[in-house]
Each structure stands twice: as C-alpha cells, then as structure tokens.
C-alpha cells in the first residue's frame, strides 16, 4: 500500500550545523555521493546549505532538497511566504520536499488550513512533494483527511534503537506514507552500546553503521548528521549492510522509549 517513495533512503541531516561547518559538511557529503540534503527554517543555515549545493557543481535536479516550515508560520498566507523566503535563502527555484516541522501547538492553527496551504505551495511549484514531521497517529489521520492531505508523502520522526517509535512507524506505513527517521544515532549514544558493538564486530562495521542498517531494515529513510567525511562515508556504506533476523530482534529489544526531541511545544506522544 506504500506510495512510490521519492525520497532517497539516506540523506544528510544539518541540524545544529552553522556557517562554514555546514558548508563543509554538505560539500563533502555531496562529493561522497549523497543526493539528499535535509535542512529547516529553524536551523538558520539555509543560505549556507544552498551555497554548498551551488558550489558542488552537481545539477540541481540530481539533489533531493528538504526544508521545513516552523510552527509559528502555519497560517495559510504566512506558510506560503515562509517557503518563498526559504527558496530565496537557499537560492533555488523549488524544494523537493517541504515539511511542517511541528504540528500547531494546541491545534491553534486548524489542520485543514495548514495542510491546505502546504498543498497550495506544491501546486504553485514551490515544492515537488509535501510532508509532515513530529506528527502523532491522530495528527497523521487528521492531516490525511483534509483536502491536500492525499499528497503527503512522509512523516519525519525520531527513530533510533532506544526509541523504535513502532506504533507511529507502523501506522504511517499502513497508510502508505514513507517514514523518515531523524536522530538515528541517538546523538552518539549508539557508539557506546555493547550490543551494537558486538554485532558491529561480527560485520566488520561500527555501532553507528549497525544502528543505521537496523533502521533501514524497517524501510525507514535515515538522515544522520555528520561533519567528518569518514563518518559520512561509513554512513553511506551502512545502507549495504544486511542484518540477520536474530540481530534485528536483539536490537529491537533495546527500545526503551527514550525520546531525545521533546520540546515544550511537542504534541502528546503515542506511547
């Protein structure tokens, strides 16, 4: 039932990267073969991301570029303006994917207004695809039920071995949506995990690669953030790793509901 997935299975996340650091990170990733770059209005790095893309010499249509609308720009006219501003900062004519970064806190902005405006942005050519991020099961159902919701392709949510987020993942997949997993390395925690290290040793890999391979085995797009070319290369290589059913089951058992991204404006999560 899953829609054809337009999103490359691995991308480069740019959260917390600023200035020259994000330029260098995006530049090295593109040189290594990444073709999926993920940014957001709130990251305050769209100008630098766009500069790195232009400097790469890679044709724009070969790069899948995602940005996200912050939750204070969800009113219809403002959402459109915010995406026009993003395009201006990035120096591109269109996004490949525009996401609602967080659902409207306390549903202040009606879902129909937000999704309707997002789909209008798609119709205007500001973005090729639309999606959401950090949406709960109820919010996904609400978004899919309003006009424009039929064009949503993904829900980008936190996924790593300590937060499998299984209910939301399975619900989205059952609805035909691609899940994109952010913070896949649990902000470095996976590197110190004895089980992941044991499995990594068996594959001649690293714990980070095992975590990424486990997420990919669930048909989830991964967007790890990395500034070091050697780590970026290893993350790409992780997409070629195949874990056994037993290894996957052992990693599944690490799930402890440990959520890292839980700001005060977050929705009430599905347990």
Choose among 155, 236, 227, 217: nearest CA to 188: 227
Q: Which of 43, 71, 162, 182 is catalytic?
A: 43
User: Residues 15, 208, 258, 104: is their CA dihedral positive or negative?
Assistant: positive
The helix/strand/coil state of 99 is: strand
Which residues, in sequence order, are CB contacts of 132 under 8 Å at separation 6+?
99, 100, 103, 139, 140, 143, 152, 154, 155, 156
Q: What is the rounded CA–CA span in Å between residue 165 and residue 171? A: 10
Q: State residue 118 phi and psi, 5-degree precision.
A: -60, -40
Q: State residue 32 phi and psi, 5-degree precision.
A: -80, -15
Parallel, antiparallel, or unpaired: how do β-strands 152-158 and 178-182 relate?
parallel
Active site residue 43: yes
Q: Which two tokens stand for residue 29?
A: 């990733």
Q: At which residue do the structure tokens 């440990």 appear?
A: 258
Catalytic residue numbers read 43
């Amino acid at each position: 039932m899953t829609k054809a997935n337009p999103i490359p299975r691995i991308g480069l996340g740019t959260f917390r990267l600023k200035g020259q650091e994000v330029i260098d990170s995006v530049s090295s990733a593109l040189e290594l073969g990444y073709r999926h770059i993920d940014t957001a209005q709130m990251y305050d790095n769209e100008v630098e991301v766009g500069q790195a893309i232009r400097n790469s010499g890679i044709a724009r249509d070969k790069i899948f570029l995602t940005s996200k609308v912050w939750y204070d720009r969800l009113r219809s006219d403002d959402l459109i303006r915010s995406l026009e501003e993003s395009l201006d900062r990035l120096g591109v004519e269109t996004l490949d994917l525009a996401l609602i970064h967080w659902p409207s806190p306390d549903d202040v902005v009606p879902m129909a207004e937000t999704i309707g405006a997002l789909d209008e942005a798609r119709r205007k050519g500001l973005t090729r695809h639309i999606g959401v991020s950090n949406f709960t099961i109820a919010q996904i159902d609400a978004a899919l039920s309003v006009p424009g919701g039929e064009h949503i392709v993904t829900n980008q949510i936190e996924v790593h071995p300590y937060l499998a987020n299984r209910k939301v993942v399975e619900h989205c997949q059952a609805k035909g949506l691609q899940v994109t997993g952010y913070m896949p390395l649990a902000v470095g925690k996976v590197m110190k995990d004895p089980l992941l290290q044991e499995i990594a040793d068996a594959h001649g890999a690293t714990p980070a690669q095992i975590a990424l391979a486990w997420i990919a085995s669930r048909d989830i797009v991964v967007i790890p953030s990395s500034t070091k070319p050697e780590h970026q290369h290893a993350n790409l290589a992780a997409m070629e790793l195949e874990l056994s059913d037993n290894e996957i089951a052992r990693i599944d058992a690490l799930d402890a509901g440990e959520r890292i991204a839980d700001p005060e404006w977050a929705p009430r999560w599905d347990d």
